[in-house]
Amino acid sequence: MSYTQRILAEVSNKYPHQVFFLQALKEILHSLEPELTKNKIYEEHSILERLVIPERSISFRVPWVDDSGKVQVNTGYRIEFNSALGPYKGGLRFHPSVNEDIIKFLGFEQILKNSLTTLAMGGGKGGSDFDPKEKSENEVMRFCQSFMNELYRHIGERSDVPAGDIGVGAREIGYLFGQYKKLTNRFDGVLTGKGLRWGGSLVRKEATGYGSVYFAQAMLEGKGDSLEGKIACVSGSGNVAIYTIEKLYALGAKPVTASDSKGMIYDCEGIELGLLKELKEVQRVSLSEYAKMRPSAKYIPIEEYTKGRNEVWSIPCDVAFPSATQNELNGADAKVLLENGCICVSEGANMPSTLEAIDQFIQARICYGPAKASNAGGVATSGLEMSQNASMHSWSFDEVDEKLRGIMRGIYENASQTAEEFAERDNLVLGANIAGFRKVAMAMIEQGVV
């Protein structure tokens, strides 16, 4: 049994119910196999044994009072996974599906993603099973305040810097920051994704979506192609999806789909971005409203999806941007995408493709950008926000955007050159995992057994 197989077996035995964490681990360990076979230093230092266990894992009660006066209780999490490269860094997710398994998979991915950005950030993730949907402003505020009443003692601008993820955007970051400041009497860069008036960075809001499109552009250019004139399918209609669509238009592509948890829209004329922003960022309503206002759009509710499929991926396209959530693109979806001639998949969401889907993309040798590489633009720009906070400067939109573009190109080059060392130039899963891992592992070795 190889080193990676032994570790996977041990973790599977210990945490058989952590299916998302095991899925992420399986993908990563499989990619690391050739590197770990070639180089025994990692096994000599028990790097994998240490890497798979979080440095610290916190879970806590979050009680709050709803508008009717009733006490509600949620569970909060912060998993501080690895600090070899810098302070723990990663988002907070507020969604009813959140549990320790989900936060562990996200935190584990974050370690290697943050390493790829080249910035000094370790990996962490947190969140709660709280559902911000259909809550009043005051309920969201009270929940965020209660969440921070515990979280504040674990975080700090030099130790652990949370940000947004699903269900946590500018509004939630504002309430979280306000409560942190009240409790600690400190105005510092403890969170990223802050408002532009009080320490936030330009481009952070747009960064994950823009970055995912820059990554697709770099992959296509590697094959002498471009996004110009391409039809794009995008899933999701949140922060990542909206700014993916915006940048796709800027680079000459035509995005024709968007989705949410209740259904999807197909707009053959191209998604009307202003309308999408109004419905999702301002009114926070279902996508079914979009179709009522656009004659060129068709709304398909989730109940009408073909069984076992995500209907977004059945719309013929050249390029695909899964930007909603984990496992939203399975083996059957991948097959249809490939049959329809899709040549590029850039993941905006975390772990959106199942292992079966990934296998098919690799076999077909299309441009496939795995999440930890292609969606690293968000956290990279969080790193730029931290730099600006530390130096008390703020950079212009173009300055940050240019840095983001350079970081995404650098990640593509690093991943493809690393893959090439193993004679698999097109396999960016292998390249990204090995490149991200090497840096973290060497830092751990140099810092001793801690």
Shortest separation between residue 114's beta carbon and ligand 2IT, angstroms: 8
Contact 411, 379 (CB under 8 A): no
Shortest separation between residue 378's beta carbon and ligand 2IT, angstroms: 4
Shortest separation between residue 345's beta carbon and ligand 2IT, angstroms: 18
Q: Is 185 helix (H, G, I), strand (E, B) or coil?
A: coil
Nearest residue to ligand 2IT, by Cβ distance, number only: 91
Closest listed residue to residue 179, CA positions, set 142, 223, 133: 142
Cβ neighbours of residue 413 under 8 Å, at least 6 residues apart? 218
Shortest separation between residue 163's beta carbon and ligand 2IT, angstroms: 3
Q: What are phi and psi of 264, to 5 degrees?
A: -135, 160
Considering CB under 6 A, how many residues would be counted as binding ligand NDP? 23
Can you state the percent helix, strand and coil of the chain, rounding each to 5? 50, 15, 35
- What is the rounded end-to-end Cα distance, in angstroms, of the chain? 27
Q: Which residue in the block uniquely carries the two structure tokens 């490149």? A: 435
Q: Is 25 helix (H, G, I), strand (E, B) or coil?
A: helix
Catalytic residue among 113, 125, 247, 372: 125
Shortest separation between residue 439's beta carbon and ligand 2IT, angstroms: 17
- Residue 125 falls in the annotated catalytic set: yes
Contact 354, 366 (CB under 8 A): no
Which residues from 135-164 bind ligand 2IT, rule CB under 6 A? 163
Instruction: Give the one residue of 35, 80, 139, 165 binding ligand NDP; rule: CB under 6 A.
Output: 165
- Which of ligand 2IT, ligand NDP, none is residue 76 near (CB under 5 to 8 Å by kind)? none
In the complex with ligand 2IT, the residue whose CB is nearer, 156 or 222, is: 156
Which strands make up the sheet holding 231-234, listed edge to edge?
Answer: 254-255, 231-234, 319-321, 344-346, 367-369
For residue 289, CA distances in Å to 236, 264, 293, 310 come to: 15, 11, 7, 20
Shortest separation between residue 124's beta carbon and ligand 2IT, angstroms: 9
Token representation of residue 197: 């008036």
Cβ neighbours of residue 228 under 8 Å, at least 6 residues apart? 251, 252, 253
Instruction: Give the one residue of 117, 179, 237, 314 binding ligand NDP; rule: CB under 6 A.
Output: 237
Q: Is 376 helix (H, G, I), strand (E, B) or coil?
A: coil
> Is there binding between residue 192 and ligand 2IT (CB under 6 A)?
yes
- Which of ligand NDP, ligand 2IT, none is residue 325 near (CB under 5 to 8 Å by kind)? ligand NDP
The continuous run of DSSP H or E covering 442 comes out as: helix 428-446
Stretch that binds ligand 2IT, among 138-146, 194-202, 245-253, 378-386 (CB under 6 A): 378-386
Q: Is 6 helix (H, G, I), strand (E, B) or coil?
A: helix
- Which of ligand NDP, ligand 2IT, none is residue 90 near (CB under 5 to 8 Å by kind)? ligand 2IT
Residue 75 forms beta bridges with which residues? 61
Contact 330, 306 (CB under 8 A): no
- Which of ligand NDP, ligand 2IT, none is residue 324 near (CB under 5 to 8 Å by kind)? ligand NDP
In the complex with ligand 2IT, the residue whose CB is nearer, 91 or 199, is: 91
- Which of ligand 2IT, ligand NDP, none is residue 192 near (CB under 5 to 8 Å by kind)? ligand 2IT
The continuous run of DSSP H or E covering 411 comes out as: helix 397-421
> Is there binding between residue 5 and ligand NDP (CB under 6 A)?
no
> Is there binding between residue 322 and ligand 2IT (CB under 6 A)?
no
- Which of ligand NDP, ligand 2IT, none is residue 126 near (CB under 5 to 8 Å by kind)? none
Shortest separation between residue 214's beta carbon and ligand NDP, angstroms: 14
> Is there binding between residue 100 and ligand NDP (CB under 6 A)?
no
Amino acid at 304: E
Contact 356, 186 (CB under 8 A): no
Q: Which DSSP category does 261 fall into? A: T
Shortest separation between residue 238's beta carbon and ligand NDP, angstroms: 2
Considering CB under 6 A, how many residues would be counted as binding ligand 2IT? 12
Instruction: Give the one residue of 37, 138, 261, 363 binding ligand NDP; rule: CB under 6 A.
Output: 261
> Is there binding between residue 165 and ligand 2IT (CB under 6 A)?
yes
d(CA 98, CA 81): 17
∠187-191-194 over CA atoms, to 5°? 85
In the complex with ligand 2IT, the residue whose CB is nearer, 122 or 263, is: 122
x-or-dash pattern for ligand 2IT, window 56-95, by CB under 6 A? ---------------------------------xxx----
Residues lying near ligand 2IT in the complex (CB under 6 A) are found at 89-91, 110, 113, 163, 165, 192, 350, 378-379, 382
Residues lying near ligand NDP in the complex (CB under 6 A) are found at 164-167, 169, 208, 236-241, 260-262, 323-325, 348-350, 375, 378
Active centre residues (catalytic): 125
